[in-house]
A and B are shown apart, each in its own frame.
Chain A
Amino acid sequence: MTFSRGFHGRRRDDVDPARVPPGQYVTEDFPVLSAGPTPHAPLESWSFSIRGAVDEERSWGWDELRALPPETVTVDIHCVTKWSKLDTSWTGVSLDTLLDGIDTSAEYALAFSDGGYTTNLPLGDLKDGKAWVAYEYGGEPLDPEHGGPARLLVPHLYFWKSAKWVRGIELRADDEPGFWEGYGYHNYGDPWKEQRYAGD
């Protein structure tokens, strides 16, 4: 392989390696990656629902979601396309708050978004302070191109699981692969085990 003399790229190399999962590069940017056009759902008709293996579907309109107790968290995020961004700040409602009081025997969840995107994960990975419906990034309302008005935030998994423009989660007894999972990406996606593709 020949090298391009003097090329380094926009990577940061001054970070604690313990914070960088295998195969990742740290960036200062916030790349915009998407599978389709940015939806523009009017807030008046926006809702987040929990449905599926529940006795009763639960739904929150925008104002109702914003009325729930928010949390602000600072987390590192890791995209399967190899960039990682450290110390990102988000504000949103914890899935623990949203799932509170919901009785279910479901073990899996399928998150769904405006535009048709889906991603699956074990229900347990949405609980215990591991996931949020985030509506602010860096103290500002979440930009539509980054998933606003609200996106799922599940930082302990590769960022394709943090569904942009999220509109709800479907609780399921069986595991249903989401969009990228169906094309061969790893069903779980732990960056620390470098679970990028099925079979990793």
Chain B
Amino acid sequence: MTRTYVCNSVNKAGQLLVDLAAATSMAIATGRVVGDDGKPSFTGDYGDKKSRPDHVLLSPALYKLVCLFKMWDTYASDHAALSTEFRVNVVGGESANTKHHVCRIGQCVNNLVLRWQHEKAHVYARHISENMELLAQIDEAERAGDVDKLAFCARSLIVQAASSRAVGMSAQAWCVFKRERSRKGPLNPVWFDWECWEKRKKFIEAVNVVMRNMPVGH
């Protein structure tokens, strides 16, 4: 398990990083994964310095998934940009972000996506504190010990605040729009699965055969 390296300097932080890796069973990927030959990542503002202070440490399961490491220069920084690619098993793991994903009944349960935006936190908090109607219902549910109602009201309080125009922390899941954007022709209803596609394909082929065999003039 050798590591290739270009910079052979060692400092206290390097020793401590190696100790940390050893104590946690993590592997220092530097100089060990495909594409990483231990090149310097710090080049200085004028390219006059060369060292490798940037590293990626991986636990065993993730180390096995690494397929490629890349490093490229950037004018935005005195450090090179580093990227580590993982070989990810997505077989059968279709999600809302998978290409050609189609919403199916019962699968994409919640099409509303909430995205936290720290800079709007105070507007979000104000919206919640000013939603007197729901806050009163929460108090009422709490007094009555109605857990279900309490949970529903709390959820509504969050969703309403996130969805308000001033806050804008909510969006529809991408899959809701995907069929309209990526598919040509009529939209497919959610129940139109691969079996229906096969039947439709065979039907069109049969119609074409009949049309081809039909005598001219009919």
- A and B physically associate: no
Q: Which residues from chain B sit less than 8 Å from chain A, CB to CB?
A: none
